[in-house]
Amino acid sequence: MPKAQETILEIDLNALKHNFEYLKSKVSKNTKVLAVVKAFAYGSDANTIANYLQDLNIDYFAVAYTSEGVALRNAGIKTPIMVLHPQAVNFKTLIDRCLEPCLYSAKVLNEFMASAQDQKQSNYPVHVKFNTGLNRLGFWENDVEYIVQRLKATNAVKVKSIFSHLAASEDLSEREFTINQIKTFKGIAESFSRQIGYQPLLHMCNTSGILNYPEAHFDMVRTGIGLYGFGNSKEEDKNLIPIATLKSIISQIHLIEKGESVGYNRAFISERTTRTATIPIGHADGIGRQYGKGKGFVTINNKQAQIIGNVCMDMIMVDITDIDCKEGDEVIVFGKQPSATEFSKSANTISYEIITAISQRVKRCFIGN
């Protein structure tokens, strides 16, 4: 692996393949796998990741917003793409680009059916989302009759799948709640299929659902964080490989006398003669201010260097008093070791947040294939 010469996010495609194969091994042959590639494929690079997974014959993609689906189509993705959270203003574009909306409310259902009719569509594939306990987006169990009655009014759309989303699939102390969500979904699926007169695909599991609730795999599973190398538990983290490594270099080293300050608002005051390294990565790159003032750390020559003072827009300063290093040396923020999970703990957050926060200013580089 070449040493970083500037701040980069290195994406390991072999690790992606490993994670995909591991997750696939957890579901039966007949269960389809949908890759969630929203938010730039969790901060990595949606176009490259989706093209790579398309070559591995992934069954489906999902994004959050229509614009993300359009970007994938522009990048040559032919695989079906579900838009999890569409808005009416984008329905025309969505249909033009053969993206498949998730319909989660009466308003969205009616607006989409009108739009599909306007554009002279028949049997346009849609996905109906049910709320079974997350209380975020989705129809309720007792909406089934209404939805079916509306859908039967035209042939503009056809329900390709019905689905729900688990609220606490990674938290085994909420097992009872999750089992109840699965039970509610089964009831909805049964009455929906009976009333509509055909059998849409059923899906419910995200990554932790795949790993913890095999009885809820149904016809398809939706994996995001697992593909990127996180299992939301110590045991499962061992089976997956983080695909992204955030690297930088030491721009400059300073020797600071006892009592001197470092950075904006003099947030760090040295208690001893301190060697500091300035690194070209800041809050505009995704390392938020909550990592400053001794909370977060970077890794230089296998040793942890505390972030001192306030995180600046384009830089952080770290304490290297006890680390043998020089200007130009490589710096690891997170990657395989320490992982984004470990790094993000220092700011009381989770892997999902830090990996999706890495801004587009940071160059993406790819290794493996």
Ligand X SMILES: *Cc1c(COP(=O)(O)O)cnc(C)c1O
Q: Which of 23, 35, 36, 157 binds ligand X (CB under 6 A)?
A: 36
Tokens encoding 254: 């300073």
User: One symbol per residue from 42 to 81: x for binding ligand X (CB under 6 A), - otherwise; what is it?
Assistant: ----------------------------------------
Q: Which residue has the tokens 């009719």?
A: 117
User: One symbol per residue from 191 to 210: x for binding ligand X (CB under 6 A), - otherwise; what is it?
Assistant: ---------------xx---
Q: Which is nearer to ligand X, 297 or 334 (CB)?
A: 334
- Closest C-alpha among 112, 115, 43, 37 to residue 77: 37
Q: Which is nearer to ligand X, 84 or 246 (CB)?
A: 84
Find the shortest distance in angstroms from Cβ 223 to ligand X. 5
Find the shortest distance in angstroms from Cβ 208 to ligand X. 6
Q: Which is nearer to ligand X, 60 or 112 (CB)?
A: 60
Q: Which residue has the tokens 């129809």?
A: 139
Find the shortest distance in angstroms from Cβ 226 to ligand X. 6
Q: Which is nearer to ligand X, 130 or 268 (CB)?
A: 130
Say how far apart CA 148 and CA 10 lie, in whole Å: 47
Identified catalytic residue from 258, 264, 303, 326? 264
Interhelix angle 144-151/175-196, rounded to 10 degrees, is: 30
Q: Which is nearer to ligand X, 203 or 247 (CB)?
A: 203
Find the shortest distance in angstroms from Cβ 206 to ligand X. 3
Catalytic residue check, 38: yes
* Touching ligand X, residues 73-132 (CB under 6 A): 84
Identified catalytic residue from 38, 52, 247, 291? 38
Say how far apart CA 218 and CA 72 lie, in whole Å: 27
Using Cβ positions, the residue closest to ligand X within the complex turns out to be: 224
Find the shortest distance in angstroms from Cβ 331 to ligand X. 27
* Touching ligand X, residues 218-257 (CB under 6 A): 222-226
Residues contacting ligand X: total by CB under 6 A: 10
Catalytic residue check, 264: yes
Of the candidate spans 5-13, 216-224, 234-242, 284-292, the one that interacts with ligand X by CB under 6 A turns out to be 216-224
Q: Which is nearer to ligand X, 85 or 283 (CB)?
A: 85
Find the shortest distance in angstroms from Cβ 198 to ligand X. 23
Widest distance between CA atoms in the chain: 78
155: left (phi over 0), alpha (psi -120 to 50) or beta: alpha
The C-alpha angle with vertex 169 and arms to 167 and 170, in degrees rounded to 5, equals: 120
Report the Cα 173 to chain-centroid distance in Å: 24
Q: Which is nearer to ligand X, 33 or 249 (CB)?
A: 33
* Touching ligand X, residues 148-177 (CB under 6 A): 165
Say what the alpha-carbon torsion angle 115, 116, 118, 123 is, to the nearest 10 degrees: -160
Find the shortest distance in angstroms from Cβ 174 to ligand X. 15
Q: Which residues bind ligand X (CB under 6 A)?
A: 36, 84, 165, 206-207, 222-226
Query: What are the catalytic residues?
Result: 38, 264
